[in-house]
Amino acid sequence: MQDLPHHYKVSANANAESLVVLSSMGLESLDTAGPPEFGGPGDVWSPETLLVGAVANCFILTFRAIARASRFDWASLSCDVSGTLEKVERATQFTAFNLRVELTVPAGTDEKKAQGLLEKAERNCLITNSMKATSHLQTTLQITD
């Protein structure tokens, strides 16, 4: 990892009727629009779905780093996230992220250690740590033969 601080740059461009195009040096551009709940088309990523996706992505990447540092073997991890958007004191904001994760591990794995590493990943996710909303973790452990 590079020394902190890190800086991330994204540009957004649109006209009065177009999709919003997000771009960042070295990456493919991404078309976005408001979600259907706000009158958007529903067939492209929205700021809301990007944020919820960032929570899921960050959880998996955080778990991967923690598992690697802990020399913990695992086969696969899925993370489904549901974000709750509400009106709080006249401001619309995300108030909660519910993470449902399923970790698949080899037979003979220390299940208590696996659960502890999943919980550590939730506590250390830089995306959820950067927001006011709470996160709630529900885990399922699958054992492979």
Which pLDDT does position 20 carry in this prediction? 98
Cβ-contact 66, 135 below 8 angstroms: no
19 is a domain residue: no
CATH code of residue 70: 3.30.300.20
Whether the full predicted model's pTM is greater than 0.85, yes or no, is yes
101 is in which domain, residue-wise?
47-144
Query: Based on the structure, what is the number of domains in the chain?
Result: 1
Instruction: Inform me whether the pLDDT recorded for 54 exceeds 80.
Output: yes
pLDDT digits (tens, 9 = 90+) for 114-143: 999 999 999 999 999 999 999 999 999 999
Can you tell me the distance from the alpha carbon of 101 to that of 31, in angstroms, rounded to the nearest whole number? 28
- Of 107, 14, 106, 99, the residue nearest 63 (C-alpha): 99
Q: How many secondary structure helices (H) and strands (E) does the chain include? A: 3, 6
10 is a domain residue: no
21 is a domain residue: no
